Chain A
Amino acid sequence: MNGKDEEKNYMNIVEMTATQLAAAIRTGETTAVEATEAVLARIEEEDKKYNCYVTVDRDGALAQAKKVQAQIETGDLTGPLAGVPVAVKDNICTEGLLTTCSSRILHNFVPTYTAEAVKNLHKAGAVILGKTNMDEFAMGSTTETSAYGPTKNPRNTAHVPGGSSGGSAAAVAAGECIYAIGSDTGGSIRQPASYCGVVGMKPTYGTVSRYGLIAYGSSLDQIGPLTKDVTDCAAVLAALASHDPKDSTSVSREDTDFSTALTEDVKGLRIGIPNDYLGEGLNDEVRTAVLQAADVLKEKGAVVERFDLSLVEYAIPAYYTIAAAEASSNLERFDGIKYGYRTEAYAGLHNMYKKSRSEGFGEEVKRRIMLGSFVLSSGYYDAYYLKALKVKALIKKAFDEAFAKYDLILGPVAPTTAPKLGESLSDPIQMYLGDIYTIAVNLAGLPGISVPCGQDDRGLPIGLQLIGDCFQEKKLLRVAYTYEQHGKKF
């Protein structure tokens, strides 16, 4: 093969979806090794522009690709993702491969074990390309809080890719991986998917094992897929989902054959649009795109109604109280003693803790640790933390009531399209308010999906969010798939 043909072949591969590529590998049109080489070449070419990756594991990926290819040829690997290269968010542990959470404090941390979700991908024949950039410890909505520099939106590099799984979303959009996995604590998969014009899903809490996911807000965190289309999303979610006895919050589910849900059938389905999700602060272009998407579903036979969800305004304070409280405790283990960054000079144990953590953590992480420590401190626990838990329970109740009337809820993912780099960090409160449509889903433990549904006049993508009741991923996938088939293409 001469150089030109090779290049052409690579171009095709990076444009493919995961299920298309796996099919091509199965039929022998290409191989896992060729596919991996193609994606690595794309990373080599493009990543200086976008900074999607913290670590690219070139050698590991090629070795894995060879192994997987052999297993495909012997018929030991037959799944819909076998041989397909994937990018993994840098807060998910990979044995022997640097895992930093995009923080200085874990700049040298190489895990001794692999996260259960990644093990599941291995079983499905995935080839791990490397680890993607993120907001430090998943705290942020822009991937600008990373200690390794911001990721840029491949659709317009003056803009952020969203966050915290910004590296994963941008890598999918830029063809620097075929699909990626991220984590979603308050919208960290759905929002960057929306900003980058890809599909992202946060599964029902407990569907994907958290074992090996470096915790931010333990009661809210879920790992999920970022993909080029809904078909891939279903296949990746099916690979990720498992009951893991090592995670006490893991759920045993029978219905993980998610690809069976990919049918065009929304006739009679009741879809509710919360008025609360269309109110003040919502950008007009986003509103228009979302309502047009609802019209597409209506045309296909769904019953679409507006309703009042209520309590939405309390979701943000409740979320930032609970997530920060859990984070303040989860991040205590980063102390410079056992692994990670330790300050150079110190006088005694206490001073070492103080300096290592002050130097190792970035601004946003320190802000949330302080906020979390405050709401848990004696005398404030009841007023803040307990109250937030009560709000969480009420929000769950409000959703329960909504799902008594509707099969699913439709709305925007974020109030605006991707902001410019540098705009958000100057005003953290404004940044927190940007999570308004995504965080209630985490508080209630529900599944939510973000599907591209338009773009603004600058060409920045807009995402449509569909929210289901617990364990209703199939319904979400069915509606998202139907929309994808009939909505406008971008």
Chain B
Amino acid sequence: MAEEADRKPLLSKKIDNFFSGLASAWSFVSRFFKEVFLPPYELKEVVHQCYRIGVESLPLISLTGFIVGIVFTNQSRPSLSEFGATSWLPSLISIAVVRAMGPLVTALIAAGKMGSSIGAEIGSMKVTEQIDAMEVSATNPFKFLVVTRVLATTFMIPILVMYTDFVALMGSFLSVNANEMVSMTTFFVQVFESISFLDITSSVLKSLLFGFTIGIVGCYKGYNSSKGTEGVGRAANSAVVMAMFLIFIEELLVLQIVNAIRMM
């Protein structure tokens, strides 16, 4: 009985924290949508952030996409060869890469690289009063730091996803070409025959959603980090964990919606 009484405040505190956290996240997201349409538009900073997020991620994305293409092709070959269906490899790979693996792999890498970087950067700016310094110099720090970064991740992730798709398909082609002697034209004809307009649209829309999630979660965690260096580390870490978790949930939801559309 006494044990139960001890537990109650802790449980109610946790529930309180959960709902107040939810309310604070909701108000942060609402503020983003309010501020994004209001001037001044920090276009120069948006371009700078797009460059940082896009160009600086290219080496990592290229390597990962290429490896994913080769590995997935090599892993799928034995199963298909059992049925004498290795000629379906380009179709299988294209569907897997465009529908799921390209967006998911890019988003997860971006969440790890950019989400943590955004969380740590904004968190350390908060701790060292740089955000306050912006505010007292009559600059809106939310617009300069949050809106620009969220826009940059939202715009750049779909572009990076398309690039990852291309690199993964090139990796896959190398493997198919080496083993099945398929020409590039034949490979890519099969690739494009297998994917539909819905696949591409859903991939782009999903990437926009992933990009927005990575940006907003990184900014939210950084902007609300507690004082001290420990808080900065925690902000960076939780930005990655939360973004990855949300990306998987979104992937699941988008998949259900797209499948429902496909059935119609």
A and B pair up: no
The interface of chain A, by Cβ under 8 A from chain B, is none
Chain B residues within 8 Å of A, Cβ to Cβ: none
